[in-house]
Amino acid sequence: MNTIINDIEIVKTENSKINDVDFDNLKFGSVFSDHMLECNFKDGKWQMPKVIPYSSIALDPSAKIFHYGQSVFEGMKAYKDANDDVFLFRPLDNFNRLNISSKRLAIPELPENYFMEGLKALLKVDDAWIPTNEGSSLYIRPFVFASGQGFHASPADEYKFLICTAPSGSYFSGKVKVLIEETYSRSANGGVGFAKAGGNYAGQFYPTQLAIEKGYQQVIWTDDNAHEYIEEAGAMNIFVRINDTLVTGPTSDRILDGITRKSIIAIAEEKGITVEVRKITVKEVVEAAKSGALKEMFGAGTAAVISPIAGFGYKDEDFDLPELEDTYASYLKKRITDIQTNKSEDPFGWRVKL
Ligand code: PLP
Ligand code: COI
């Protein structure tokens, strides 16, 4: 029987898959919860969203997503505490960034209530899918793509906005080694690097495959001009600790304005750590690694949380980072996850209880 939550129609599955899931051994983003949110753009406007059973979708072969890659996405997480209360972290920032991405890709922007109320209704229906194990959470993937038809290279007239969710464990397994890129570029001035456009990730796969063949997990992108400055990694922003100063690059139209990144800056400053937001040259990181001033490097992102980097490669040379006892990365990771999972106060007002 269909029900309504906050004006949103719910069609429940009759075949829940939840009993097939091993919640003690969750990978990242590989099993999907029973339901999804679907919202269609047609006749010039977004239609009411609906929660429906998770299922395949049919698209015309001429749908513009296939030919021109008109698609954007977000990444968020829902956390459940010991009392079974459910929390989101800065969800309006994800909503706003989705629309920033959409605008750049000529995709119609979504109304806030369709996103927020749709997400809340979906999480209510799939509440049992939100893991409680330490280090696990429900990864949320909102995305919008061109479902409208035609080979004309112009924006589609129909779109789909879906939200799917996946109970997930950590993004990386084992030590993370990165390769500082010297040849390929992820983004360029005036391009779409700041948007979470699907094509930004497709363009990274080949250079990342080359890096994986050499024994690294991710590429650290450098500026497209001279490959002189460290920008960000494939799925996370980058921080380096030089002596006791934490440094991260400024955002620009080439770099994703990460929600974890800006939260880390605030948490580090709260702790009294000196934070510099400035351009970081590859040269200074290599020199700091050689002199011993480079204490830590870590990536920050929703999926990756805070992932310490064990070493990096540059121009056929490998540099290992020291294995310190008390790292900024471990402090910052605990502080941010305690806020996200309702284990501590949230002086910043980031946590949203459902
Ligand atoms: N940079 C890129 C390219 C990403 O894909 C992500 C992940 O979303 C991030 C940075 C981190 O952003 P956030 O902290 O908002 O998840
Ligand atoms: C996220 O951290 O949510 C992301 O979107 C990264 C993704 C490419 C796995």
Confirm if 53 and 35 have CB atoms less than 8 A apart: yes
Is the CB of 303 inside a 6 Å radius of any atom of ligand 2?
yes
CA-nearest residue, atom 4 of ligand 2: 75
Q: Whose CA is nearest to atom 5 of ligand 2?
A: 75
Give the number of C-alpha atoms closer than 13 A to the C-alpha of residue 348, restricted to the C-beta side: 20
Summarised one tens digit per residue, pLDDT across range 151-170 is: 999 999 999 999 999 999 99
Phi and psi based region of residue 199 (left: phi greater than 0; alpha: psi -120 to 50; beta: remaining)? alpha
Distance CA 341, CA 81 (A): 6
The residue whose CA is least distant from atom 8 of ligand 2 is: 235
Measured in degrees and rounded to the nearest 5, phi and psi for residue 41 equal -105, 115
- Nearest ligand 1 atom, CA 261: 14
Q: Determine if ligand 1 sits within 6 Å of the CB of residue 208.
A: no
Rounded average pLDDT per 10-residue block, the chain, 354 residues:
78 96 95 98 97 97 98 98 96 98 98 96 97 94 98 98 97 90 96 97 96 95 96 95 97 96 98 98 97 97 95 96 94 97 96 96
Sketch out the chain's domains with CATH numbers: 2-168 (3.30.470.10), 176-340 (3.20.10.10)
| Cα 257 to Cα 229: distance, rounded to the nearest angstrom | 17
- pLDDT on residue 172: 86
DSSP 250-264: PP-TTS---HHHHHH
| Residue of 261, 302, 307 to mutate, ligand 2, most atoms within 8 A of C-beta | 302
Ligand nearest to the CA of 262: 1
Let me know: does 286 contact 312? Beta carbons within 8 Å: no
Number of Cβ within a 10 Å radius of residue 48: 11
| The model's pTM | 0.96
Task: Name the pairing type of β-strands 176-180 and 218-222.
Answer: parallel
pLDDT of residue 1: 56
In short, whether 302's Cβ falls inside 6 Å of ligand 2 is yes
For residue 175, the model assigns a pLDDT of 84
Which listed ligand is nearest to 29 at the C-alpha? 2
Does residue 235 line the site of ligand 2, with CB under 6 A?
A: yes
